[in-house]
Every structure is written in structure tokens, then in C-alpha cells.
């Protein structure tokens, strides 16, 4: 048996674990020979040709898929696998427009096992360098042009091989030694130039570090070009305009840079980060060609997805009235919790109260101590203290409407709750609530800002007092990226922002604020205002960082701003308050 690399075995494992595999040759549309062709340098071409032609189903390569990442050999380094491939489909790296057969071959990225386990941690949007060239062995004419560019701009970093034995983790220039690929995370744009091979790892390494690739290779066919919208990911510059590279990049606005960085990280994570992702994307493209009636859409390939576009299949008319379930997240503020339960129990539409006891060190009070109310009251003690527990789709929730409450929200009136519930019935796909917030872009710091000051615009409603459809509990639990769940657990913050992102990403709509009330301050002895997290400046800074993290994970900013609030009467129209059904609606 011919030797097989670790990477090729990962391809085989991905195929065997994929939904596309079948053990019946009569049912198969495509065959993948278990012959490792990833690196042409390791192949004896005559032997490979004999092995392929000896395959029982080869048929001159008809309906066969071959994987290759390093085509060609010294000194010419062809851009395609130089074996007798017959009519087989090539999934290859480093293809150019002369060797790529459109709608037949598949261009794939070159995987680098040396950087596979490197973890890039996004800290902020400010990067030290505008542009870096870090490739080894670039064309001397290109290097001469780059040296002229660096004379005019201090924001350009040109690196090359260090003296002595080659070390992949180091790059050098006259200023010193730079750690590679870590240096890429300090640069906004990463230059990708022709070297002896068209097949290069720099594209994947740059994307892994959130560095926007600048492709100056006129004939290069980008990976998965059939399905990925590369205009959202890379900047393409003609090789003849390399001398103008800084002027071209400086014309790109900060908003677009942030969007491209988000998309870069999203595409790398979904299609580039391992042999498994590369293989599955390749198979999906083949599947789309074989079954054109069931192809993945542009959004499926290029947007952070949750499975249902119209998630609730909601009717135009209001949902049938069956009340709402109040889900209260609590830890140990017994007095304010009991006061809250007694207060909301007077709401006519209340169907059930579910208390999520998030304290594992202390048992909830005995049953006899809890308030006596006229609706069912259930207490669930969670196995660990996590903010995600408030959004878990508990079986005890039987209504479609959920009222999410913190245990210190005692300022709301029954009229406010009832009116908000009726608004939610009219807009059951929205997050409907009271405390509102806004996301802003700060041009000075090039970062997102979480704004809590009173403005006419809102883009978030805090889940400490809000109504939402119970489907969103399923969506939050199942589809929120795991790295965001870990972030929230580590920081014990921002689960409410995450729910806003989930709903906005699903619906493309803004939340709805109810009533005129500005402030939501606790005034009880057991809940002192100075104790509230939202009063802490560090907390606000952390929530701004949460927004930045979420934007990168979602691949875009899904939140929508709106200048709107729902109220039972016109603004400041005091005359009609005495006639409306909801007269005690709170005040500014």
C-alpha cells in the first residue's frame, strides 16, 4: 500500500463521517480513491498512473474526485497535479485561470499543520501596522517595489527569511526578529504575492489572524470561488499597481475594514481551519452540482446561519391568548424575589411563574416560605451558576410567551406588563420590553460602544424585563456559538446582548421598547442601586467588548436601530390617560 499522510487520512475520516458517504458503489455519484495525492513531491508519477488505472471503477477518471494541495515539482512548479487524471475532478490548491476548469474542478485552500493549533484571540480593532509582506521567496521585482513603498509609508512591514537555519516561526527585517504567524494579528492587511508555487499557506494564515488578505496575483483562483463571495473577504490589486498599494488601502473606510475582518474570521473558521472543513465544503459543492434543486443559497455559504429563516412561521394575526410564563433568574435576594412574585401575580395574563434558582451553594427557601399566588409556581435549582440558565427551554414553559425578569425589577406596574404582553402578541417575532440600549460605532477608538444613556434610538432591549417567543430559548441554547457561551460564562455578563443578537440575526428586525419609562432602578433595602451591575463603569466597558466579540463571531453586526416605542396613548397626551385601559403605564 502506498504511504498516506496524516492530512490525507483526515480527508478520509471527514468523508466517512459526512452525510454524503455511501458504501454502495451503485448509489455513489462520485468516487474518491484512497491514494494520497496531496503533495506531488512525494509521488512517483508512473506508479500513481498505474494505480489509478487499475482501480475497478476508474473508467478514465469519470466521476472521480482527486485531492491535491502541492502541485508541480522543481523547477517549474506547475499549477495543477501532473499525473494522468483523465476526466477526474480535481480539488486542488494553487490553481490559476489557465488550469482551473470552471464548474468542474474545485479550488481549495492549502492547509498548514504548523499553524493549525495556533489560537488567535481578538483583543481590539486597533492594529499596529497597515500592511505586511511576510512571504519568503517573492519575485525580486515585487520586493523592489515594496521597498519603494516602505520608503513612503511607515505603516508597511516587509519581512523575509532570517539568517541561518530556516525557522518557520520567525521572520526578519533590519529592525529585528518577529514572531510568525503571531505578527499577522497586529496588521490590518496581509499581502499575498506570487512565489515559486501558486499554492501558498499565507492566505489561510492571514485569515486565521483576522488580517484582510490583499491578493496581488492576477491569475490566482481563490479557494471555493464557486460559492464564497470573496469581495467581502479580500482586496484584489493588479500586480502592475503594487506601487500604489498604500493609497488603495488607505481609501478603505473603518466600517468596511471591520466588516471584512469579521467575514475573514468567519470564512476561515467555517471552511479553512482544518482538513475536515476543507473536505466537507468540497463535498457540499459537489453535492450542489449533482442535486441543483437542493443547493445551498448565497446566505448559507456566506452568512452566519441558524437553520430557519422564518423561525417561528408566525401568523399575521395576533397569537391565541394563553398568557405568559414569567421566568425569574435569582441567586439569593429572597426579599426582592418574593416581593416581585407577589406583584406580578396580579397580572391577569400571567399563566405560571418559573424561578431559576442559580445558587448551588445555598438551597432555595422551603416551599412553605414562598408566596401564595393564584397561578402555578415552580422553582428549579440549576446544576451550575450560569447566565445561560435564564434562556434554557425548560419543559415547564408551556406558553409561547415568556416574560424574562431579574429578581430586582420591582418598579414595573401591572399595566405596563399587561400592555407589553399585548404589544408582544401583535409582534411575536420581536423582543418586546422596557430597559433599552443602543450600539454605536466609535470613530476615535475604531470600536463598538455599548450606550446606556437615554436617546431617541434603541437597538437592544435588556432581558431583565422583556417578552419573547419561547422559540428563541431553543435558538439561543442550540445555535449561539460555543465560544460566545464560554465568553459569557467567563465574564458573567452579556447574555442579554447575545439574545438580542440571536433575534436580530434571525429576523433582521429591531426590538420594541414599551412605555416612556427611562430609568429602571431598584429601590428596596435588599437591592441597593449602588450594588447594581449596570452602575459599574467597568461593566459598561466590558459590555462594549462583548458587542465587538459578538460581531466577530456572527460575522456581521445584526443589530438594527429604530426610533420607536409603543405606548397606549400619544406622547404627553395626559387627557386620554384617564380613558385608556392601561392608565398606570409609568413615567419618564
pLDDT for res 529: 42
Give the other-Cβ count within 10 Å of 402's Cβ. Answer: 26
Q: What is the mean pLDDT of residues 206-223?
A: 94
- Length of the chain, in residues: 588
Confidence tier at 541 by pLDDT (50, 70, 90): confident
pLDDT at 526 over 60: no
Q: What is the mean pLDDT of residues 33-40?
A: 90
Q: What is the mean pLDDT of residues 411-423?
A: 91
pLDDT for res 252: 93
The most confident of 74-78, 96-100, 473-477, by mean pLDDT: 473-477
Lowest mean pLDDT among 252-266, 314-328, 435-449: 314-328
Confidence tier at 578 by pLDDT (50, 70, 90): low
Average pLDDT, the chain: 86
User: With contact defined as beta carbons under 8 Å apart, do 415 and 517 qualify?
Assistant: no
The full set of domain ranges for the chain reads: 6-107, 129-265, 324-578
Residue 197 CA: distances (Å) to CA of 85, 125, 279? 20, 32, 22
How crowded is the C-beta side of 330, counted as CA atoms within 13 Å? 30
Lowest mean pLDDT among 240-254, 298-312, 316-330: 298-312
Q: What is the mean pLDDT of residues 528-537?
A: 49
User: With contact defined as beta carbons under 8 Å apart, do 379 and 364 qualify?
Assistant: yes
Computed on alpha carbons and rounded to an integer, the radius of gyration of the chain in Å comes to 29
pLDDT at 123 over 70: no
Q: What are phi and psi of 189, to 5 degrees?
A: -125, 140
pLDDT for res 586: 60
Confidence tier at 395 by pLDDT (50, 70, 90): very high
Q: What is the mean pLDDT of residues 326-347?
A: 94
> 324-578 in CATH: which number?
3.90.550.10
pLDDT for res 582: 60
> What are the helix and strand counts (H, E) for the chain?
14, 21
How confident is the model over 352-391, as pLDDT tens digits?
A: 999 999 999 999 999 999 999 999 999 999 999 999 999 9
pLDDT for res 503: 95
pLDDT at 1 over 80: no
Shortest CA distance to 576 belongs to which of 588, 563, 567, 566?
Answer: 567
Confidence tier at 124 by pLDDT (50, 70, 90): low
Q: What are phi and psi of 421, to 5 degrees?
A: -65, -40
pLDDT at 65 over 90: yes
Percent of the chain clearing pLDDT 70 (strictly above) = 88
C-alpha cell at 334: 429572597
pLDDT for res 552: 85
Q: What is the mean pLDDT of residues 153-161?
A: 91
Task: Give the contacts of 227 (CB within 8 A, at least 6 positions apart).
Answer: 281, 285, 288, 296, 301, 302
> 129-265 in CATH: which number?
3.40.50.2000
Confidence tier at 447 by pLDDT (50, 70, 90): confident
d(CA 365, CA 562): 42
C-alpha cell at 539: 461593566
Confidence tier at 467 by pLDDT (50, 70, 90): very high
pLDDT for res 84: 87
Amino acid at each position: 500500500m502506498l504511504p498516506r499522510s496524516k492530512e490525507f487520512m483526515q480527508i478520509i475520516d471527514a468523508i466517512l463521517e459526512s452525510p454524503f458517504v455511501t458504501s454502495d458503489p451503485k448509489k455513489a455519484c462520485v468516487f474518491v480513491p484512497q491514494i494520497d495525492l496531496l503533495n506531488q513531491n512525494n509521488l512517483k508519477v508512473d506508479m500513481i498512473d498505474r494505480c489509478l488505472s487499475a482501480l475497478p471503477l476508474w473508467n478514465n477518471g469519470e466521476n472521480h474526485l482527486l485531492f491535491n494541495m502541492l502541485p508541480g515539482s522543481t523547477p517549474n512548479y506547475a499549477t495543477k497535479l501532473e499525473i494522468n487524471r483523465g476526466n477526474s475532478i480535481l480539488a486542488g490548491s494553487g490553481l490559476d485561470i489557465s488550469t482551473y476548469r470552471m464548474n468542474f474542478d474545485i479550488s481549495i485552500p492549502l492547509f498548514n499543520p504548523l499553524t493549525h493549533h495556533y489560537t488567535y484571540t481578538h483583543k481590539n480593532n486597533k492594529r499596529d501596522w497597515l500592511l505586511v509582506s511576510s512571504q519568503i521567496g517573492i519575485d525580486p521585482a515585487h520586493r523592489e517595489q515594496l521597498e519603494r513603498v516602505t520608503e513612503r509609508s511607515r505603516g508597511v512591514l516587509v519581512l523575509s527569511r532570517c539568517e541561518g537555519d530556516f525557522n518557520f516561526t520567525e521572520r526578519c527585517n533590519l529592525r529585528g526578529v518577529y514572531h510568525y504567524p503571531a505578527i499577522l494579528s497586529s496588521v490590518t492587511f496581509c499581502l499575498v504575492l506570487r512565489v515559486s508555487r501558486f499554492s501558498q499557506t499565507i492566505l489561510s494564515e492571514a485569515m486565521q489572524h483576522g488580517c484582510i488578505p490583499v491578493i496581488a496575483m492576477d491569475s490566482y483562483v481563490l479557494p471555493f470561488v464557486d460559492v464564497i463571495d470573496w469581495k467581502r473577504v479580500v482586496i484584489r490589486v493588479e500586480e502592475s499597481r503594487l506601487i500604489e498599494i498604500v493609497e488603495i488601502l488607505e481609501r478603505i473606510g473603518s466600517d468596511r475594514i471591520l466588516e471584512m475582518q469579521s467575514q475573514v474570521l468567519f470564512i476561515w473558521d467555517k471552511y479553512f481551519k482544518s482538513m475536515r472543513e476543507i473536505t466537507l465544503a468540497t463535498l457540499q459543492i459537489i453535492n450542489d452540482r449533482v442535486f441543483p434543486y437542493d443547493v445551498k443559497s448565497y446566505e448559507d455559504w456566506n452568512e452566519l446561519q441558524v437553520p430557519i429563516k422564518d423561525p417561528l412561521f408566525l401568523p399575521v394575526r395576533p397569537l391565541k391568548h394563553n398568557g405568559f410564563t414569567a421566568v425569574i433568574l435569582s441567586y439569593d435576594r429572597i426579599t426582592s424575589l418574593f416581593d416581585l412574585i407577589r406583584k406580578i401575580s396580579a397580572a391577569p395574563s400571567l399563566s405560571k411563574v418559573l424561578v431559576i434558582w442559580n445558587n448551588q451553594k445555598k438551597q432555595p427557601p422551603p416551599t412553605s416560605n414562598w408566596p401564595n399566588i393564584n397561578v402555578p409556581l415552580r422553582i428549579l435549582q440549576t446544576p451550575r451558576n450560569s447566565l445561560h440558565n435564564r434562556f434554557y427551554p425548560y419543559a415547564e414553559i408551556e406558553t409561547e410567551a415568556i416574560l424574562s425578569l431579574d429578581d430586582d425589577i420591582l418598579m414595573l406596574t401591572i399595566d405596563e406588563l399587561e400592555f407589553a404582553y399585548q404589544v408582544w402578541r401583535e409582534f411575536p417575532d420581536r423582543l418586546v420590553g422596557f430597559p433599552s440600549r443602543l450600539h454605536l460605532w466609535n470613530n476615535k477608538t475604531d470600536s463598538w460602544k455599548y450606550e446606556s444613556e437615554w436617546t431617541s434610538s434603541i437597538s437592544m432591549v435588556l432581558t431583565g424585563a422583556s417578552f419573547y417567543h419561547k422559540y428563541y430559548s431553543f435558538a439561543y441554547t442550540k445555535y449561539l456559538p460555543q465560544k460566545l457561551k464560554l465568553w459569557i460564562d467567563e465574564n458573567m455578563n452579556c447574555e442579554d446582548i447575545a439574545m438580542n443578537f440571536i433575534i436580530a440575526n434571525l429576523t433582521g428586525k429591531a426590538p420594541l421598547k414599551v412605555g416612556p419609562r427611562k430609568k429602571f432602578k431598584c429601590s428596596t433595602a435588599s437591592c441597593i442601586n449602588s450594588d447594581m451591575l449596570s452602575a459599574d463603569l467597568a461593566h459598561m466597558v466590558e459590555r462594549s467588548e462583548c458587542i465587538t466579540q459578538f460581531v466577530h463571531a456572527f460575522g456581521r453586526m445584526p443589530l438594527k436601530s429604530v426610533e420607536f416605542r409603543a405606548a397606549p396613548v400619544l406622547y404627553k397626551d395626559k387627557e386620554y390617560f384617564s380613558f385608556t385601559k392601561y392608565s398606570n403605564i409609568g413615567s419618564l
